[in-house]
Chains A and B, each alone.
Chain A
Amino acid sequence: MIMKKILSVLPIALIIIALMAFGGETMAQQQGETGKVKKEVNQAKQKGKEKVKEAEEAVEKEEEKAVEAVQKEEEKAAEAINKEEEKAREAMKQEKEKVRDAADVKEGKDTGKGRGNAYGRNKGGLEGRDFGQARAEEARMKNQEKKSELDKRVEDGEQKTVQARERIRVAREDLEKEKTSKKINDETYQQKKEKIDNAEKAVTDLEEKIKKGKNVPGEI
């Protein structure tokens, strides 16, 4: 009797055990698969983030370049304006001198121009000692003007060297990064490096000239 009961229950138990085993396996498989999918999704997310970062860096670089270009253009424009102003001032001076000379000629005065630099002769209504003093004063004034012009050039040059050094530093860093990330080949690297080296030499050259300009005696 008992044996019969056991025999009737046994297949059902076996079926249940088999089902449970199969279910466990499929669950494990499913879990394994979802884990893989999650990993893949995470990797894709990371890749996406990296790409976004790279794109942002590229955009930042482009922005920096654009800002630099604008600054350069502004500097050039300012320099051009200064030069034009200087030219205009010089032209005004010359015109004034011409007008003064013409007036002197009308009044019968001798302007002393085109007569050389001989001493003791009658020059612009001045004679001997007075003429010498006037000429010395003129030379002093001219010297001072030149000196202030030189000082301005030295100051501008110093600013330029500082900006250039910074630009060179950035260019060198970018180049090394490009080389490390293998974005450029050896030939391109060498070409760019040569350009940077040449620019550095030019900066040194300008610095030497500036140093020379600073050593020019101002007063005698």
Chain B
Amino acid sequence: MTMKKAIIASGVIALLLAGCTGKAAKEAEKARAVEIEQLETVSTQIDSTINEIDEAAMKLDTLINEL
């Protein structure tokens, strides 16, 4: 009887642990996905800023050479 109870209790604990771990893993995965998305957004932003700087520098070069 006691053995049965112990087995059931361990089963429940195992299930609970598995559930919690799975949930934590999902949360971590979600957080990572958000991080990757943010990094990619910033990378795109940086790319566009680099392009803008390049264009402005080129324009300035042209106008300075005309002086």
Which A residues are within 8 Å of any B CB, using their own CB?
A: 72, 119, 128-129, 132-133, 135-136, 139-140, 142-143, 146-147, 149-150, 153-154, 156-157, 160-161, 164, 167-168, 171, 195-196, 198-199, 202-203, 205-206, 209-210, 212-213, 216-217, 220
Q: Known contacts A129-B25, A198-B63; decide if A139 and B57 are in contact (CB<8 Å).
A: no
In the assembled complex, B33 has its CB within 8 A of some CB on chain A: yes
> Which 3 A-B pairs give the minimum distances between C-beta atoms?
A139-B39, A206-B56, A199-B63
- Please name all residues of chain A whose beta carbon is closer than 8 Å to the beta carbon of B25 when the two chains form the complex: 128-129
Other than the known A128-B25, A143-B39, what 13 A-B pairs have Cβ atoms closer than 8 Å? A119-B33, A132-B33, A135-B32, A140-B39, A142-B43, A143-B42, A143-B43, A157-B56, A160-B60, A195-B66, A202-B64, A205-B56, A206-B60
Q: Known contacts A132-B29, A135-B36; decide if A160 and B46 are in contact (CB<8 Å).
A: no
In the assembled complex, B45 has its CB within 8 A of some CB on chain A: yes
- Please name all residues of chain A whose beta carbon is closer than 8 Å to the beta carbon of B45 when the two chains form the complex: 216
Q: Per-position contact with A for B1-33: 1 when CB-CB < 8 Å, else 0?
A: 000000000000000000000000100110011
**Assembly CA distance A212 to B56 (angstroms):** 13
Name the distance in Å between A206's Cβ and chain B's nearest Cβ. Answer: 4
Find out whether the CB atom of A209 lies under 8 angstroms from the CB atom of B56: yes
> 8 Å CB contacts to A: which residues of B27-67?
28-29, 32-33, 35-36, 38-40, 42-43, 45-47, 49-50, 52-54, 56-57, 59-61, 63-67
Find out whether the CB atom of A212 lies under 8 angstroms from the CB atom of B63: no
**Assembly CA distance A17 to B13 (angstroms):** 151
**Assembly CA distance A106 to B56 (angstroms):** 47
Find out whether the CB atom of A212 lies under 8 angstroms from the CB atom of B49: yes
Find out whether the CB atom of B39 lies under 8 angstroms from the CB atom of A153: no
Count CB-based A-B contacts (< 8 Å): 105
Which B residues are within 8 Å of any A CB, using their own CB?
A: 25, 28-29, 32-33, 35-36, 38-40, 42-43, 45-47, 49-50, 52-54, 56-57, 59-61, 63-67
User: Considering only CB atoms, which chain B residue lies closest to A117 in the complex?
Assistant: B36
**Assembly CA distance A171 to B64 (angstroms):** 10
- Please name all residues of chain A whose beta carbon is closer than 8 Å to the beta carbon of B32 when the two chains form the complex: 132-133, 135-136
Q: Which of A140, A150, A156, A196 meets B67, CB within 8 Å?
A: A196
**Assembly CA distance A150 to B47 (angstroms):** 8
Name the distance in Å between A157's Cβ and chain B's nearest Cβ. Answer: 5
User: Considering only CB atoms, which chain B residue lies closest to A154 in the complex?
Assistant: B53
Find out whether the CB atom of A157 lies under 8 angstroms from the CB atom of B53: yes
Q: Known contacts A132-B32, A153-B53, A171-B67; decide if A220 and B60 are in contact (CB<8 Å).
A: no
